[in-house]
A and B are shown apart, each in its own frame.
Chain A
Amino acid sequence: MEDIKRIAEKTKKTLQGAGAQKAQFTVTEKEKHEFNVDGGEFSLFRTLFDRSLSITAYKDNKKGSAFINQFDDSSINSAVMDCIKSAESGIPDEAYDIAPRQEAETFRDGAYEPDMDLFFQRTRELMKDITERHPKIIMEQMIVSHDKVHSVYQNTNGTEFESFTGAYSVSLMFSAHEGETTTSFFGSGVYTDSLDRPFIELGSLEKDLSDTEAQLTTIPMEGKFEGVIVLTPGSLGGFLGSAVSNFVSDGVILEKTSIWLDKLEKQVADSRITISLCPGDSRIVCGEKYTYDGFRSQDYDLIKDGVLKSFMLSLYVSNKSGFAPAKNSSFSVIIEGGDTSYEDMIKNIKKGLIVGRFSGGQPGVNGDFSGVAKNSFLIEDGKVKGAVSETMINGNLAELLNNLVAISRETTADGTTVLPYMAFDKVVISGK
């Protein structure tokens, strides 16, 4: 491994010598060990050694950025010069800035060094477990890896953060098959720093495999009705990502196209909904330690009891808009469990759909969404009737948050988010 602190010092000196008035940069070195399974069989073992230097420099209120993965003097000099020249060609804007000096910190998180023997053993065990317990599953692709990352962040206000992180990730893409009958594919995964338990017990892997096998038989879905959708923790994350992007992110606040632009400290969702961004939570593996702008990351509530408490803004858009920057730049979303069991949630639904995956168009800026409910099950009179195919759902993300029916007591923690099942009313569900 390189002495990346030396590279950081070299970069800082070069930036100062080149006339940068402000700057921030991150030096990173990474190692990846990865096993692949394709079509149900082990196919590849790869080991990667990579590094990067990411620089942003400011001169006369202008900004430029450069990214390289070579650490020799000549490459660093030329990246710095590229960065400065880009800044000089730019447009002046007083909103460009970096975080003030933060206390220096060193972070050590996760399993920095992999236990390769146990890791490979767990990987083979996962394949064996899937084959034995879920014989109808064909593993289109399985990627398991350990990523070891050492990085140093510095800025010209004197901040230095150093971090050492390591974690294992498991990513599965699979479908179920019986004769010529095939289900839709489904993706599931977990991120963990522990090899204490078999992979199949983590996150929602086992349930996702079972649900997919249950989708081999589908029932016809005809007509159109307004009903309740139950978003699984997996599909809920996608809906939340779209809502964030449409209503509270940098782009829509800078463009002033967000329909929540004047909703800060106002009710935007059912009062039972609290959405938090918590990279520091113990259930989040190797969560963000510092933001892209150089602030120490802190957990915060995006929506608390239905009230919008923050936008998810960078320092630049914060300075442009006058709203506070987000306290972290992660998507480590946590929604705590509610007071209804998943079983009772289903029992109380007259007619609706459990949506395992949503394959939809990018929702419009107003939050309208429309798409196919994949890996989904019909609910009638409080019972799960069976899997459906070619079923579309449409509604509006902002309205959805105000049409909450229930939040399940059960949550799924996959190492990146902690999410429950959530049921929402007044969604249009239509068959062929």
Chain B
Amino acid sequence: MLEDHVSNKKALFPNGVHTELREQKSRNRRVSLVQGNLTGNARMESSGTSARVYQNGVYGFSSMAECSGEAAETVLKAAAENALFMDRHVGRGKEPLPIIPCGGIPLSKKIQDAAQKHYIEFAKELDSYITAHCPKLSSRSVVAMEDSMEKIICTSDGYDGHICAPRSYVYVFLNSETTSGTPIELFVPFGGSGTFLENFTDPSLCYSKIDALYEQLMHKREGIYAEAGYKTVVLGGLMSGMLAHEAVGHTVEADLVLGGSVAGPALNKCVASELVNLVDFAHTAFGKPAPLPVYLDDEGTPAQDATLIKEGILTGYLHSRESAQHFEAMPKGNARAWAFSDEPLIRMRNTAVLPGKDKLEDIIASVEDGYYLLNSTNGQADTTGEFMFGINMGYEIKKGKLGRALLDTTISGVAFEMLKTVDMVSDTVEWASSGYCGKKQPMPVGMGGPALRCKVMIGGR
């Protein structure tokens, strides 16, 4: 656990300017088995102290790889000098940031650190299961990992806090070949918020998901290429979550709005069907802990949910304290930093489309000729809202019934146009949280949603 060297340094904060001082330890444990070969077996830790000072519209930041009172004093001094340098040369003459209420968030979780042997044995168990039960594979990989961020955050105004956010996953990758010899791959992550010891008590609890993945892979062996064109599709919950994050969430990050994103002129306008509601949840969603709960951001703002789209209308952006001042909005705890040496950036937390009233089976039954798209390899979106998702698992829908599996393809569209075509929304939400969002720094995020019936461009061959 981190020892607190920063809370008693408030007296050294520069006068009259917003200041943050943070001590952080990040840990990562990872084991990779490829075809039963142990290709990765690593334990990583990095820790240090950073400070950021806001002066007349510009920030100074400094960090060093040390957790001590002396380090705290050094980075505070350097950050203040950097802010002064910027103010002198490119000062923007802005007002100080509005004061937010003070408070504190105590440490609520301690990490129980699993030995590396635990990760290795767990991965080996799953690898043995795959070898015994999935005969038609060309190759297989299993990755077991945990990462965590522990931070002590101390601010001139706002909340102070000691927070700890571990998450752990096992990823299973299965490869095979189509009947015509084309290599195909599928993967599934298990896990979520919490340590490896908490999330992975028994390998046999993963077996049914491996069986389901293998079954999908066998369907894909007989797969067909999607017919290219503008099609009616049912996006599964994981896909609508990716849409919420990539195609909408990024465009409403206020720093990207200031950079010219399509959401700038769209505020308070209709950007989606009235069936579409979208929220960036802080720590609790639908009465349960969100996939990756965030209680306090790195600017000292306590985290609250941010509603982005309400009944099809774009209602707000995601903010840092500085952007909230610019747009005369309330910051809701979206300014987050990855490593001790990173400054807070506007990031999503747990972004989801809210569920509707339709049953998934009714949505599929309503499609005469289209596709049911379940999972993706990756996704990217533009500040114009134009998005692209690689699809690695899906099925054709013919006359309301699922047909053959699809080979890898891509879908694309423009978010605020495509969301207007949503005419059915399922009543259950699926979440994903195993990846990293990339925006100068990586960041763990959750994303989720219900199944949506809509129209998108799909690539064929």
Contact = CB atoms under 8 A, between A and B. Distances in A.
Contacts of A90: 38, 41, 120
Interface in A36-65: 38-52, 62-65
Given A63-B38, A91-B37, A124-B90, A394 B461 contact: yes
A129 to B, nearest CB: 16
A64 B41 contact: yes
Given A45-B60, A46-B60, A392-B410, A184 B42 contact: no
A45 B382 contact: no
A46 B61 contact: yes
A195 interface: no
A255 B139 contact: yes
Contact of A364 (B35, B62, B184, B383): B184
Given A124-B90, A141-B440, A45 B459 contact: no
Q: How large is the interface on B (under 10, 10 to 19, 20 to 34, 35 or more residues)?
A: 35 or more
Quick one: which of A93, A143, A359, A365 has the most chain B CB within 10 A? A359
A50 B48 contact: yes
Nearest to B414: A390
Interface string B406-424: 0111101110000000000
Interface in A278-335: 316, 320
Contacts of B412: 359, 371-372, 390, 392
B37 A254 contact: yes
Interface in A237-267: 250-251, 254-257, 259
Interface string B185-213: 10000000000000000000000000000
B58 to A, nearest CB: 6
A44 B388 contact: no
A182 B410 contact: no
A62 B117 CA distance: 12
Interface in B260-306: 260-262, 265
Contact of B228 (A95, A254, A392): A392
B107 interface: no
A64 B408 contact: no
Contacts of B380: 359
Interface stretch (B81-89, B147-155, B160-168, B348-356): B81-89
A67 B46 contact: yes
Given A184-B384, A255-B175, A372-B388, A39 B259 contact: yes
Interface stretch (A18-26, A81-89, A197-205, A336-344): A81-89
A141 B259 contact: yes
Interface stretch (B11-19, B63-71, B309-317): B63-71
Interface in B77-128: 78, 82-83, 85-86, 89-90, 92, 115-117, 120-121, 124
A432 B139 contact: no
Contacts of A180: 265
Nearest to B459: A370
Given A48-B341, A120-B89, A372-B388, A430 B39 contact: no
A195 to B, nearest CB: 17
B175 A140 contact: no
Nearest to B83: A45
A175 B259 contact: yes
B41 A255 contact: no
Contact of A183 (B38, B175, B384): B384
Contacts of A43: 58-59
A371 B410 contact: yes
Interface in B201-252: 228, 230
Contacts of A177: 260
Contact of A430 (B90, B115, B228): B228
Contacts of A87: 41
B182 interface: yes
Contacts of A85: 115-117
Contacts of A428: 228, 461
Contacts of B2: none
Given A224-B228, A257-B175, A44 B35 contact: no
Contacts of B141: 255
A65 B43 contact: yes
Quick one: which of B46, B380, B407, B459 has the most chain A CB within 10 A? B459
A67 B175 contact: no
Contact of B37 (A39, A41, A320, A370): A320
Given A90-B120, A361-B376, A370 B410 contact: yes
A288 to B, nearest CB: 21
Given A392-B410, A430-B228, A70 B65 contact: yes
26 contacts: A38-B258, A39-B255, A42-B90, A45-B82, A49-B64, A50-B64, A63-B38, A82-B116, A83-B43, A89-B115, A120-B89, A138-B259, A140-B255, A143-B440, A180-B265, A255-B139, A255-B141, A360-B390, A361-B378, A361-B388, A361-B389, A361-B410, A364-B408, A366-B182, A389-B386, A428-B228
- 10 closest pairs, A vs B, by CB? A361-B390, A140-B259, A39-B258, A89-B117, A46-B61, A255-B139, A65-B42, A365-B183, A67-B44, A42-B90
Given A65-B40, A182-B383, A372-B386, 12 more contacts: A44-B86, A46-B82, A47-B82, A63-B38, A65-B43, A82-B43, A140-B260, A141-B255, A257-B175, A364-B182, A365-B184, A365-B185
Interface of A: 38-52, 62-70, 79, 82-83, 85-87, 89-91, 93, 95, 120, 124, 138-141, 143, 173, 175, 177, 180, 182-185, 224, 250-251, 254-257, 259, 316, 320, 359-362, 364-366, 368, 370-372, 374, 389-390, 392, 394, 428, 430, 432
Interface of B: 34-48, 57-66, 78, 82-83, 85-86, 89-90, 92, 115-117, 120-121, 124, 138-139, 141, 175, 182-185, 228, 230, 255-256, 258-262, 265, 341, 343, 376-378, 380, 382-384, 386, 388-392, 407-410, 412-414, 440, 457, 459-461
